[in-house]
């Protein structure tokens, strides 16, 4: 194996940063990033699922028959998603209300199935765990960043988590919220601009 | 043949284990989830409507079944009398169902107030139905009648600008609670007496 565990972890943070470098899993990226808190919450939920499914798929890779592997992956992923959904309802109910249907939709997020199929099924346990964690954290940071940009422009304030928030009105009293940015078309434009920026930096 | 058996066995075992784990997690979180729903969805609205009540309206609740729908009713004591009851109805908003908790004064047949519980409206526009009091404050003190409407539809409620659909949905939900209130009033009074002190 050419890459070390550290390399498997860090590649998810830049080289294979899911929404911006791979341009994968865009449905939640566009849907939930109306605020930074939503983006981070969605990212953490996805990270949990990615880590869990990578771990189990890698552990069971010698037992799962080649022909039914996709069905097995879906069972594993769907179970983790349901666990996340229940835990979120029990311990972070306000966040669950905001994310709504996007939590069950993690099942069909192509990043999660993609990592199981392309990585965990072929690699060892420790590498798969590092890969899942790295990609998950990269996804979380991307969603958080996109959410922050949209929230600052669209609502004039930014809430990091719970009560930790910053209101633009205190620093720029003349700032008018640009509510287009928190609506669906704003998500596309914002994502496009950030993709452009990241490509420029990447080159 | 051997491979076939292996596929069936692996899938069956995997699905059964997953089912067992999920059932356990579901059971483990059930009570916590119910408590969270009361606290975060209905709780804030009830506390706002029942401010100054001498009892705890969230604890003093009862359920009534109308047709095949079971509803929760929350009872408030004011000025030594058990005279206020609150319950929830839903209207179809711009982004999905909007829940509105409405409190009624049983003695005067007037609305004590209304508050939005859940919604998925646009932030900055429809979401102001919950964030700002402008819309819901207009319901306080209205007499129980057949329906309330926004001014655009010939009614008495000023809609939130840019969020007519949301405002209509809230009016719709309030109208539903008034209808339920009129239908169930005798039963409500009977149940409420049990909470009198």
Nearest CA in chain B to A101: B120
Task: Give me the number of domains chain A comprises.
Answer: 1
Cα distance between residue A45 and residue A95, in whole Å: 11
How many A/B residue pairs have CB atoms within 8 Å?
Answer: 72
pLDDT over 70, % of chain A: 95
**Span A52-103, pLDDT tens digits:** 999 999 999 999 999 999 999 999 999 999 999 999 999 888 888 888 888 9
pLDDT over 70, % of chain B: 98
Tell me if B15 and A67 make a contact (CB, 8 A cut-off): no
Question: A85-91 — which CB contacts under 8 Å span 24+ positions?
Answer: A86/B25, A86/B26, A86/B29, A86/B33, A87/B25, A87/B29, A88/A41, A88/A45, A89/B29, A89/B33, A89/B36, A90/B29, A90/B32, A90/B33, A90/B36, A91/B32, A91/B36
Of A165-179, B36-50, B172-186, highest mean pLDDT: B172-186
Largest CA distance in chain B: 79
Which residues from chain A sit within 8 angstroms of residue B39, using beta carbons? 93
pTM to 2 decimal places: 0.72
Which residues from chain B sit within 8 angstroms of residue A75, using beta carbons? 11, 14-15, 18
pLDDT over 90, % of chain B: 12
Cα distance between residue B195 and residue B75, in whole Å: 8
Which residues from chain A sit within 8 angstroms of residue B125, using beta carbons? 179
Tell me if B124 and A154 make a contact (CB, 8 A cut-off): yes
Interface test with A, best of B26, B123, B126 (most A CBs within 10 A): B123
A63 touches chain B (CB under 8 A): yes
Which of A115-119, B6-10, B56-60 bottoms out in mean pLDDT, i.e. has the lowest? B56-60
Tell me if A63 and B37 make a contact (CB, 8 A cut-off): no
Tell me the residues of B at the A interface, defined by beta carbons under 8 Å apart.
3, 6-7, 10-11, 14-15, 18, 21-22, 25-26, 29, 32-33, 36-37, 39-41, 118, 120, 122-125
Q: What's the domain range around A38?
A: 5-198
Tell me if B33 and A90 make a contact (CB, 8 A cut-off): yes
Please give the pLDDT value at position B180.
87
Which residues from chain B sit within 8 angstroms of residue A150, using beta carbons? none
**What is the residue extent of each domain of chain B?**
46-193
More confidently predicted of A168 and B103: B103
Tell me if B11 and A72 make a contact (CB, 8 A cut-off): yes
Please give the pLDDT value at position B138.
85
Q: Are A130 and A5 in contact (CB under 8 A)?
A: yes
Cα distance between residue B101 and residue B115, in whole Å: 5
| CA nearest to A136, candidates A56, A37, A23, A16 | A16
The ipTM is 0.78
- Give A115→chain B minimum CA distance, Å: 19
Minimum-distance CB partner of A87 among B15, B29, B118: B29
Mean pLDDT (whole number) for A138-162: 85
Tokens 């965990």 sit at which residue?
A120
Mean pLDDT (whole number) for B11-32: 93
Q: Which A residues 28-57 touch B at CB under 8 Å?
A: 34-35
| Inside any domain, residue A166 | yes
| Inside any domain, residue A203 | no
**Span A1-43, pLDDT tens digits:** 467 888 888 888 878 888 888 888 888 888 888 888 889 999 9
- Give A17→chain B minimum CA distance, Å: 29
Tokens 């409420």 sit at which residue?
B192
Q: Which residues share a beta bridge with B61? A: B74
| Inside any domain, residue A35 | yes
Cα distance between residue A4 and residue B37, in whole Å: 45
- Look at residue B62 and tell me whether its pLDDT is greater than 80: yes
Which residues from chain A sit within 8 angstroms of residue B29, using beta carbons? 86-87, 89-90
């Amino acid at each position: 194996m050419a890459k070390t565990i550290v390399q498997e972890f860090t590649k998810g943070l830049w080289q294979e940063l899911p929404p911006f470098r791979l341009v994968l899993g865009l449905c939640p990226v566009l849907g939930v990033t109306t605020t930074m808190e939503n983006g981070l919450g969605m990212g953490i939920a996805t990270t949990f699922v990615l880590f869990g499914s990578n771990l189990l798929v890698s552990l069971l890779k010698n037992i799962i028959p080649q022909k039914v592997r996709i069905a097995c992956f879906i069972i594993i992923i769907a179970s983790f998603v349901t666990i996340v959904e229940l835990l979120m309802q029990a311990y972070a109910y306000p966040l669950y209300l905001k994310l709504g249907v996007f939590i069950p939709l993690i099942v069909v997020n192509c990043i999660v199935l993609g990592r199981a199929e392309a990585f965990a099924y072929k690699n060892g346990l420790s590498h798969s765990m590092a890969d899942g964690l790295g990609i998950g954290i990269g996804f979380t940071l991307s969603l958080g960043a996109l959410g922050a940009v949209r929230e600052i422009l669209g609502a004039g304030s930014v809430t990091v988590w719970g009560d930790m928030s910053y209101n633009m009105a205190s620093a720029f009293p003349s700032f008018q919220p640009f509510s287009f940015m928190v609506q669906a078309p704003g998500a596309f434009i914002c994502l496009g601009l950030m993709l452009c920026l990241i490509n420029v930096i990447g080159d | 043949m051997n491979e076939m058996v292996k596929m069936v066995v692996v899938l069956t075992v995997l699905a059964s284990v997953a089912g067992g784990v999920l059932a356990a997690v579901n059971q483990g979180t059930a009570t916590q989830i119910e408590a969270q729903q009361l606290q975060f969805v209905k709780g804030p609205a009830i506390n706002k409507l029942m401010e100054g009540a001498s009892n705890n309206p969230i604890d003093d609740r009862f359920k009534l079944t109308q047709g095949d729908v079971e509803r929760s009713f929350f009872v408030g004591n004011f000025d030594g009398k058990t005279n206020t009851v609150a319950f929830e109805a839903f209207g179809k908003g711009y982004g999905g169902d909007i829940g509105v908790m409405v409190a009624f004064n049983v003695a005067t047949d007037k609305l004590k107030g209304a508050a939005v519980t859940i919604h998925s409206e646009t932030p900055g526009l429809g979401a102001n139905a919950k964030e700002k009091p402008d819309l819901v404050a207009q319901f306080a003190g209205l007499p129980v009648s057949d329906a309330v409407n926004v001014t655009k539809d010939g009614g008495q409620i000023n809609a939130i600008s840019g969020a007519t659909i949301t405002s209509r949905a809230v009016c719709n939900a309030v109208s539903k609670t008034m209808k339920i209130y009129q239908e169930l009033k005798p039963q409500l009074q009977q149940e409420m007496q049990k909470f009198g002190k």
